[in-house]
Amino acid sequence: MKILITGGLGYIGSHTVVELSNCGFECIIIDNLSNTSSSVLTELEKLCEKKIELWKIDLLNRDRLAHIFDTHHFHAVVHFAGLKSPGESVSKPLKYFDENLVSTINLLKEMQRKDVKKLVFSSSATVYGDLAIPPVTEEAPTSALNPYGRTKLMIEEIFQDLSNSDSKWGIVMLRYFNPIGAHPTGTIGEKPNGIPNNLMPFITQVATGQREYLNIYSNDYPTHDGTGVRDYIHVVDLAKGHLKALAYLDNHLGTHIFNLGTGKGYSVLDLVKTFEAVNNVKIPYKIIERRPGDIAVSFADVSKAEKELGWKAKRGLKEMCKDAWNWEIKR
């Protein structure tokens, strides 16, 4: 079966391509290469031991998007493509509405035109805003703290409206918590362009000397060491969740939301100290002021995904740190 993967050369997308391909799916990738490189395709083909078709197009290009749907008959779509920096979204909201919202609407129009109505969407725990009390369930209240989060929430609402209008749609929305780590071979991992938005790439860049020190945003939160607590999940575990979501859609229509996390919270300093211990490196850091919008504690209730998808994260924090460093020193 052919699966269209939008943003398939990105961090989470590429790991998902490996898992899908290894389970016998034929993956066709769309990526505009705005935050990745075509070299990732070479590594994917090595890992999967097969050629993988890449279409270098932007989802905003309706003609090119229509062409790929006319060329292939897809069983389903896994939608990763989009911009993902909360900070940048505050200064460039229209860019985020265009790249995230309009592109998704274009994709849905083509799916509808070709009667491809199975979709797995890369959502985010950011849709919970600062209202949810951990452990966060899928029924927790939602809110948007920035335009990035608002686009995720709006896209989820679009899916709900679409499903209400046509009962043949089956859509799974996966709300990720904090993906880190890399493929255990060290061949693919997180490689952001420019200044990283996420914590782990900052840590690895400090460890290699690319950056002098890590900024930790406050140590006065009401947590065990004063630093913010988050639910970190290994990217391979996360990728496997998409396999389970696709299988779920074989027997379920309508819209469905699942948290993907470990159900455990670790502080920023927990992560730093574990990384240092596992990899025998030192991570200099400085404590600076809080960032607006950051919350003290966030971790998932993952019981719904375990019960209904049959999915559970298996890799711990040590493995996440080990694999992230292995990727950094090999690339």
The residues annotated with a catalytic role in the active site are: 148
Question: CA 110 to CA 128: how far, in whole Å?
Answer: 30
Angle between helix 317-330 and helix 268-279 axes, rounded to 10 deg: 60
- Please say whether the beta carbons of 178 and 265 come within 8 A: no
- Return phi, psi of residue 252, to 5°: -135, 130
Of 167, 166, 142, nearest to 155 by C-alpha is 142
Copy the structure tokens of residue 108.
């849905």
Round to whole Å and give the CA distance between 313 and 315: 6
- Residue 231's contacts (CB-CB under 8 Å, 6 or more residues apart) are 125, 177, 178, 261, 262, 263, 264, 265, 266, 298, 299, 300
